[in-house]
């Protein structure tokens, strides 16, 4: 059928040429060749030979057509076929001096060096040299290294004359000595047929030297028919600044032999992550090994260890199961590396933080043979553990780990019986081993110290810092705070003098110095030593400290008011007036107004609010009258100017004072007093500032005001802000005891879809948790408000049940689980495999599943948690998971088996919470 069709086609095609003249047929052949269609050209030529006979023109065209076809076949790597076609072409080989330049180049491009030079020698008979052909020949010589072939040319012909240096350079290039090769090519001129070889050599020498600009410039000058055009094209793409990154990477991969090791590690890493996500663990292990050995062939283990450590984070975030991670780690690393790594994992994940730290420290000599490094490592481990415990509130851990803490007493340096004392002991021990670590002192200073003993510990640590860091004012400032807390005012002032010597221009030192003078003046006023108080106030004012100015002004005002009140005669009929030095009567209002006259509105309000706060908390003569005076002024200022203030200024006015002001004021909260006087203050605040402020001033006396403001804001707020405002309001309702169940929380949360909006609610919830206690705190911390719906009382369960009561039972369970571990584990693994492959309907499987459910219920019974509220069981579960990874793995495995078989609903509520963290609806 195909043959018939071909015949028909041939017949039809010939027909169309039958009426054409010779010239027209030749034109058709030329057209076919121009269109790079040699097969059509050859077909027409066969017809032309039949009709018009074989002429020189036809032979020449046959030659060209066969050459073109040969080129096409070689491009397809059909070299045998191409050689056969070359044979056919040679039958029509015209005289070289008759051959056009382009045809001769085509002929040469696939000929041997010798034949090509012979052809060019023939071409030269017509007298004209061709630079293009000579360049092609130079390329052929370079590629085939048949340097003797040029000897048939005239002695002064450049191709022959300059072959020597090029030949030497090529030998050097073959030894990868590109710089020397370039030197050898120095005699080659720009017009030489070998010029492109010199340019290529310069490009490569520059590329290997890292001079990419020169390399790129040289590459651009190399002609497209250069023998290494593919490599050159890729290099151009790599070095060109505008090449897109993915194209650059592809080009680098194509010429990967130009680099040591893998060129696309990022893709390899992405492949590894994909393998992890798709649970192809065998492939993932192979990928890690490939990346590590490609990365660092001499020491792949270092890279493998690092990657394995990174993979642990995948398991810590739930992206990889613990079990799978452990298996991968065991396949990747030798035991001598795995064992210490798992100790470090316990340390990093803070499983039994005290004992993990103790265990790790006791093994430090293996990892840190240098004693100096070992000391620092010891100190850092202690500090890391203390920082973690402090952030997590590790009281419970302290109690759980007491026996082990005793075991590692020497490593941890713990001598105290209290949790707070233990943290201080660890940090102090860290400082003793490595006194040069500034962070340790900063952390020590931030730790709570309530007992006299703890204060002494902090003081001794900071005293070490005084000596270790002789120019640093930090220990002086912290010691000053400590002394103020202990009412050791003179010591505080002395140490602040030292701080001034160390850093006379440090803003923190100056602030603290002014504060100390104010505290001193306060004490002197209380003792009625007015001359001393006045001296302190004058000194405080002399600093002209912008930040402290309102406090200095306020104290000065209070001093003047109190002093003048004391100077008034007791029988004065007009108690509202005072007598000035010049006999002129001045009311407190006049005195305040005169003092504040020069100050802007915000400054006046700040001083007045501080004054109000101060007078409220103090026993003063004529207190009511003074309060009234300040009130009058404050009302006036607020009415006149509250609208002219910005949101941030109002925020500053209402925000609570810092802890360092405790010795100066009874209360640190000016907000209740100010809001009571002007509700309009809140209207000026924008929603963002309002939420920020309410988080800071969430005290019972303000609940009502805050709720009201939040409600009114929510009516006008954007969708995003409204949810935050509503959530805040619901939380305040719960804090105030108006609401107790979860409904209102879920009304807000259910409106929000997973994403940034829900994340914002979660973050707010966590921040608000610190204002709450008990179940509400736990619910806010965990963003799980079902906790609020659990019944409060249980038969036989004491109301103030502490989790510590459950610990002995938990330890018992853990021991039982350890005993039964190996058998049960095999059973659970087998069930998991069977459920994965869908063999869940067999009787044996159902029977075994029954045992698993019984096992889970037994745990509930042995823990005696039946009837306990979910949050307590959940807390216990979390504790069990952090203290015993094996228990966690086993429970998760059981949970998975029951989930895969859809039998989790057969579990009791308690068992569900224990296995899954929450009860699932039946």
Partner 1 sequence: MLPYYFILNVPEDATDEEIRNSYLRLVKQYTPEKDPVRFQQVTEAYEALQNRRRRILGKIFGGLSIKEPEDGLLTLAASRRPVRRPVNLKTLFDAENED
Q: What are phi and psi of 480, to 5 degrees?
A: -60, -45
Q: Which stretch binds partner 1 (CB under 8 A): 188-196, 377-385, 511-519, 715-723?
A: 377-385
Residue 409 in the binding site for partner 1 (CB under 8 A): no
Instruction: Give the binding range for partner 1 (CB under 8 A) out of 299-307, 655-663, 703-711, 797-805.
Output: 299-307
Asked whether position 227 contacts partner 1 by CB under 8 A, the answer is: yes
Contact present, 853 and 903 (Cβ < 8 Å) = yes
Query: Which one of 58, 65, 116, 263 is in contact with partner 1 (CB under 8 A)?
Result: 263
Binds partner 1 (CB under 8 A): choice among 187, 262, 603, 885:
262
Query: 287: which 2 tokens?
Result: 């990928």
Query: CA triplet 98, 103, 105: central angle to 5 degrees?
Result: 115
What does the chain come to in residues?
922
Cβ proximity to partner 1, 269 vs 396, nearer residue: 269
Q: For partner 1, which residue of 128, 257, 335, 659 counts as binding (CB under 8 A)?
A: 257
End-to-end CA distance of the chain: 72
What is the DSSP code string of 532-583?
HHHHHHHHHHHT--TTTHHHHHHHHHHHHHHHHHHHS-TT-S-TT-EE-TTS
For the bound state, the minimum distance from the C-beta of residue 311 to partner 1, rounded and expressed in Å, comes to 7
Residue among 102, 310, 446, 507 that touches partner 1 (CB under 8 A): 310
The DSSP code for 783 is T
Helix or strand holding residue 586 (H, E):
strand 585-586
CA distance 370 to 376: 10
Does 308 bind partner 1 (CB under 8 A)? Our answer is yes
In the list 250, 351, 376, 760, the residue contacting partner 1 (rule: CB under 8 A) is 376
SS3 state at 117: helix
Backbone angles phi, psi at 543, to 5 degrees: -70, -20
Confirm if 565 and 622 have CB atoms less than 8 A apart: yes
Give the whole-angstrom CA distance, residue 427 versus residue 261. Answer: 46
Among 55, 112, 174, 189, binds partner 1 (CB under 8 A): 174
Specify which residues 797 forms β-bridges with. 794
Half-sphere exposure of 735 (CA within 13 A, CB side): 24
Residue 580's Cβ-count burial label (10 Å; 0-12, 13-18, 19+) is exposed
**Smallest distance, Å, CB 398 to partner 1?**
23
| Residue pointed to by tokens 């079902």 | 786
337 is a contact residue toward partner 1 (CB under 8 A): no
Tell me if 351 contacts partner 1 by CB under 8 A: no
343 is an interface residue for partner 1 by CB under 8 A: no
Q: Is the separation of the CB atoms in 368 and 377 below 8 Å?
A: yes
Q: Does 280 bind partner 1 (CB under 8 A)?
A: no
Q: Any contact of residue 207 with partner 1 (CB under 8 A)?
A: yes
| C-beta of residue 147 within 8 angstroms of C-beta of residue 111 | no
Q: How far is the CB of 309 from partner 1 (least distance, A)?
A: 3
Nearer to partner 1, 309 or 848 (CB): 309
- Minimal CA–CA distance to 763: which of 785, 780, 751? 780
Asked if 77 touches partner 1 (CB under 8 A), the answer is yes
The answer to whether residue 80 forms part of the interface with partner 1 (CB under 8 A) is no
Q: Closer to partner 1 by CB, 80 or 753: give it.
A: 80
Q: Provide φ and ψ at 242, rounded to 5°.
A: -90, 0
Among 124, 348, 668, 879, binds partner 1 (CB under 8 A): 348
**How distant is the alpha carbon of residue 680 from its chain centre?**
43
252 makes contact with partner 1 (CB under 8 A): yes
Contact region for partner 1 (CB under 8 A) — 379-387, 581-589, 860-868, 906-914? Answer: 379-387
Q: Based on the number of CB atoms within 10 Å of its own CB, is 404 exposed (0-12), middle (13-18) or buried (19 or more)?
A: middle
Among 384, 555, 604, 729, which residue interacts with partner 1 (rule: CB under 8 A)? Answer: 384
Residue range at the interface with partner 1 (CB under 8 A); choices 89-97, 149-157, 166-174, 876-884: 166-174
Taking the complex as a whole, the smallest distance from the CB of residue 530 to partner 1 amounts, in Å, to: 52
Query: Considering only residues 467-506, where is the footprint of partner 1 by CB under 8 A?
Result: none
Question: Cβ(482)–Cβ(456) under 8 Å?
Answer: no
List 373, 393, 410, 804, residue binding partner 1 (CB under 8 A): 373
- The answer to whether residue 302 forms part of the interface with partner 1 (CB under 8 A) is yes
Please, what is the minimum distance in Å from the beta carbon of residue 127 to partner 1? Answer: 35
Q: Is 230 in the site for partner 1 (CB under 8 A)?
A: yes
CA atoms within a 13 Å half-sphere pointing along the CA-CB vector of 332: 33
Report in angstroms how near the CB of residue 289 gets to partner 1 at its nearest. Answer: 15
Residues that bind partner 1 (CB under 8 A): 77, 143, 170, 173-176, 178, 207-208, 210, 227-231, 252, 255, 257-263, 265-266, 268-270, 272-273, 291, 295, 302-303, 305-314, 317, 344-345, 347-348, 367-368, 373, 376-377, 380-381, 384, 434, 437
């Amino acid at each position: 059928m195909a043959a018939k069709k071909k015949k028909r086609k041939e017949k039809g095609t010939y027909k169309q040429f039958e009426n054409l003249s010779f010239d027209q047929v030749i034109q058709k052949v030329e057209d076919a060749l121009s269109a790079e269609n040699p097969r059509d050209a050859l077909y027409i030529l066969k017809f032309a030979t039949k009709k018009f006979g074989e002429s020189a023109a036809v032979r020449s065209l046959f030659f060209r057509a066969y050459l073109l076809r040969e080129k096409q076949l070689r491009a397809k790597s059909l070299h045998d076929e191409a050689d056969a076609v070359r044979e056919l072409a040679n039958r029509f080989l015209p005289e070289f001096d008759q051959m056009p330049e382009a045809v001769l180049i085509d002929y040469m491009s696939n000929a041997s060096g010798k034949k090509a030079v012979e052809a060019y020698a023939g071409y030269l008979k017509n007298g004209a040299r061709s630079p293009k052909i000579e360049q092609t020949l130079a390329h052929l010589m370079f590629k085939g290294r048949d340097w003797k072939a040029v000897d048939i040319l005239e002695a002064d012909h450049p191709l022959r004359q300059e072959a020597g240096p090029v030949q030497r350079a090529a030998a050097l290039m073959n030894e990868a000595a590109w710089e020397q090769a370039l030197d050898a090519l120095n005699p080659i001129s720009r017009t030489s047929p070998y010029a492109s070889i010199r340019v290529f050599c310069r490009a490569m020498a520059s590329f290997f030297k890292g001079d990419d600009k020169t390399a790129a410039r040289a590459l651009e000058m190399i002609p497209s028919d250069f023998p290494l055009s593919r490599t050159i094209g890729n290099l151009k793409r790599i070095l060109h600044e505008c090449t897109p990154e993915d194209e650059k990477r592809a080009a680098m991969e194509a010429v990967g032999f130009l680099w040591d090791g893998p060129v696309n590690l990022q893709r390899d890493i992405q492949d590894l992550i994909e393998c992890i996500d798709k649970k192809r663990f065998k492939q993932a292990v192979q990928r890690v090994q490939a990346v590590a050995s490609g990365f660092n062939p001499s020491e792949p283990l270092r890279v493998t260890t690092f990657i394995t450590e990174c993979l642990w984070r995948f398991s810590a975030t739930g992206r990889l199961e613990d079990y799978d991670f452990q298996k991968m780690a065991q396949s990747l690393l030798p035991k001598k590396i795995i064992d210490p790594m798992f100790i470090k994992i316990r340390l990093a994940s803070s499983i039994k933080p005290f004992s993990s730290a103790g265990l790790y420290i006791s093994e430090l000599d293996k990892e840190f043979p240098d004693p100096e490094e070992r000391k620092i490592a010891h100190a850092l481990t202690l500090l890391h553990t203390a920082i973690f415990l402090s952030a997590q509130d590790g009281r419970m851990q302290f109690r759980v780990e007491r026996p082990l803490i005793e075991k590692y007493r020497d490593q941890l340096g713990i001598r105290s019986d209290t949790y707070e004392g233990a943290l201080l002991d660890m940090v102090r021990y860290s400082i003793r081993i490595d006194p040069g670590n500034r962070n340790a002192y900063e952390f020590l200073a931030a730790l709570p110290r309530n007992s006299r003993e703890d204060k002494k510990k902090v003081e001794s640590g900071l005293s070490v810092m005084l000596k270790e860091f002789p120019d640093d004012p930090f220990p002086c400032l912290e010691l000053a705070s400590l002394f103020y807390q202990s009412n050791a005012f003179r010591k505080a002032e002395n140490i602040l003098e030292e701080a001034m010597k160390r850093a006379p221009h440090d803003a923190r030192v100056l602030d603290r110095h002014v504060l100390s003078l104010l505290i001193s003046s306060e004490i002197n006023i209380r003792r009625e030593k007015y001359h001393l108080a006045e001296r302190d106030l004058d000194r405080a004012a002399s600093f002209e400290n912008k930040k402290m100015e309102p406090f200095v002004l306020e104290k000065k005002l209070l001093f003047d008011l109190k002093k003048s009140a004391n100077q008034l005669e007791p029988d004065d009929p007009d108690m509202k007036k005072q007598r000035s030095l010049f006999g002129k009567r001045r009311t407190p209002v006049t005195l305040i107004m005169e003092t504040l006259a020069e100050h802007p509105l915000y400054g006046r309000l700040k001083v007045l609010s501080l004054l109000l706060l101060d007078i409220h908390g103090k026993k003063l003569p004529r207190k009511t009258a003074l309060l009234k005076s300040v009130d009058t002024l404050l009302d006036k200022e607020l009415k006149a100017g509250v609208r002219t203030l910005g949101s941030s200024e109002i925020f500053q006015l209402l925000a609570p004072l810092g802890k360092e002001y405790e010795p100066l004021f009874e209360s640190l909260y000016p907000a209740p007093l100010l809001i009571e006087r002007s509700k309009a203050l809140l209207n000026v605040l924008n929603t963002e500032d309002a939420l920020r402020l309410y988080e800071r001033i969430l005290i019972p006396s303000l609940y009502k005001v805050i709720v009201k403001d939040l409600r009114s804001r929510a009516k006008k707020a954007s969708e995003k802000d409204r949810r935050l405002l509503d959530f805040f309001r619901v939380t305040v309702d719960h804090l105030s005891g108006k609401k107790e169940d979860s409904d209102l929380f879920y009304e807000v949360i259910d409106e929000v879809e997973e994403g940034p909006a829900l994340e914002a609610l979660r973050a707010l919830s966590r921040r608000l948790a610190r204002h709450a206690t008990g179940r509400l705190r736990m619910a806010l911390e965990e963003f799980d408000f079902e906790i609020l719906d659990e019944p409060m009382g249980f038969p036989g369960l004491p109301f103030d049940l502490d989790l510590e009561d459950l610990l002995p039972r938990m330890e018992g369970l853990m021991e039982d689980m350890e005993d039964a571990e190996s058998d049960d584990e095999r059973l659970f693994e087998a069930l998991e495999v069977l459920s994965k492959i869908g063999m869940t309907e067999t009787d044996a499987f159902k029977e075994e599943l029954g045992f698993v459910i019984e096992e889970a219920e037994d745990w509930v019974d042995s823990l005696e948690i039946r009837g306990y509220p979910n949050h307590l069981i959940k807390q216990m579960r979390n504790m069990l998971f952090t203290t015993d990874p094996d228990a966690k793995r086993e429970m998760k495995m059981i949970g998975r088996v029951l989930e895969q078989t859809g039998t989790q609903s057969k579990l009791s509520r308690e068992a569900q919470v224990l296995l899954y963290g929450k009860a699932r609806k039946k």
